[in-house]
Structure 1
Amino acid sequence: MIQRIQSIYLLVAGIISGGLTFLFSLWNTSQANPTIYIIDLFASNSLFEKLVPVSFFFSALISIVSIFLFKNRKLQFVINRLNILINLFLLGLLIYLSQTLSGEASVSEKGIGMFFPVIVILLLFLANKAIKKDEDLVKSVDRLR
């Protein structure tokens, strides 16, 4: 059913990956364009920088699709694991990009958008824990029959 707690975790993960990334900056530099948002990375020349917004949107899409797979808990569990791997890749990519920023010798600040993959991973982990709990409950009821 859609009103389960894991659906709320997945919805919040989808909102963070797909919506809040537009509102919060990834990093601030002291160059001509001081604040970098996710939409600014589409215009970059680097393939790694273009992968960041694509990964955020793909993670949001998978989270939202996973909500509607409530009838197949095993598939939902596997898709959430795949989404965790995507967010781990995204986190590594953001760390790599933050360490290789042009003009890093000057002062730069990391924005809150850099921590979104960590929050999404935590939410997906909690959703998987709740899905496993539901699956165990269904298995125990089947044993009683």
Structure 2
Amino acid sequence: MLYRIQTLYLLISIFIYSILIYFLCFLNKNLMDFLGCNFFFKKFFLIFLIICLFLSILSFFFFYKKKIQIFLNKVNILINTIHEGILFFSCSNKWNKYTFIMFLFFILCICFLYLTNRAIKKDIKLINSINRIR
């Protein structure tokens, strides 16, 4: 489990989500005041982050079931893309360094989830080729 590269990618993704949740909830006194969004969007962003973190953790624990892991990662990529689009269009007039950093973290998470899926697919191909040899 821990010796595979996709596990490392998932751990990095979980770590980034944890940093974002910590930054949004505990580091700022008021939740996401730097974004200049209303209360609905503040809770919306936090719920999306918690869902993405939960999906990454769930994918991490399904390391024996590779098909389910790929599906969970694809759903997580989709949710991240939707969240990033909402962040981009809701805060398009108030770009500062915090929104830019948050935007880059989401892009980084999407990249790590994509790399995870590629590594899992390589493992599946390797297992299938070994089964054909037998």
1:83 corresponds to which residue?
A: 76
Alpha-carbon separation, structure 2, partners of 1:38 and 1:9: 31
Could you list the runs of 5+ residues in structure 2 that have no partner in the other structure?
Answer: none
Evaluate the alpha carbon distance shift between residue 93 and residue 37 of structure 1 in structure 2; reply closer, same or farther with a 3 A threshold: farther
1:123 corresponds to which residue?
A: 112
Q: Is the CA contact 1:17–1:56 (under 8 Å) kept in the aligned structure 2?
A: yes
Aligned residues: CA RMSD: 2.4
Evaluate the alpha carbon distance shift between residue 84 and residue 13 of structure 1 in structure 2; reply closer, same or farther with a 3 A threshold: same
Q: Is the CA contact 2:31–2:42 (under 8 Å) kept in the aligned structure 1?
A: no
Paired residues for 1:100-111 under 5 Å: 104=94, 109-111=96-98
Q: Could you tell me which amino acid in structure 1 is paired with residue 44 of structure 2?
A: L
1:30 corresponds to which residue?
A: none
Q: CA deviation at 1:71?
A: 0.7
Q: Which whole-Å deviations, capped at 9, do the CAs of 1:62-95 have from their partners, x for residues lacking one?
A: 1111111111101100110000001001101110
SS in structure 2 opposite 1:99?
Answer: coil
Q: TM-score, normalised by structure 2?
A: 0.83
SS in structure 2 opposite 1:132?
Answer: helix
1:33 corresponds to which residue?
A: none
Q: Which whole-Å deviations, capped at 9, do the CAs of 1:11-54 have from their partners, x for residues lacking one?
A: 1101101224433x7xxxxxxxxxx9596049x75423321111
Alpha-carbon separation, structure 2, partners of 1:137 and 1:62: 26
Could you list the runs of 5+ residues in structure 1 that have no partner in the other structure?
Answer: 26-35
Alpha-carbon separation, structure 2, partners of 1:121 and 1:3: 22
Evaluate the alpha carbon distance shift between residue 37 and residue 129 of structure 1 in structure 2; reply closer, same or farther with a 3 A threshold: farther
Alpha-carbon separation, structure 1, partners of 2:64 and 2:84: 30
Q: Is the CA contact 2:18–2:53 (under 8 Å) kept in the aligned structure 1?
A: yes
Structure with more of its chain in strand, by fraction: 1
1:6 corresponds to which residue?
A: 6
Q: Does 1:49 align with 2:42?
A: yes
The number of residue pairs the alignment matches comes to 127
Q: CA deviation at 1:55?
A: 0.7
Q: Is the CA contact 1:59–1:86 (under 8 Å) kept in the aligned structure 2?
A: yes
Q: TM-score, normalised by structure 1?
A: 0.77
Q: Does 1:94 align with 2:102?
A: no
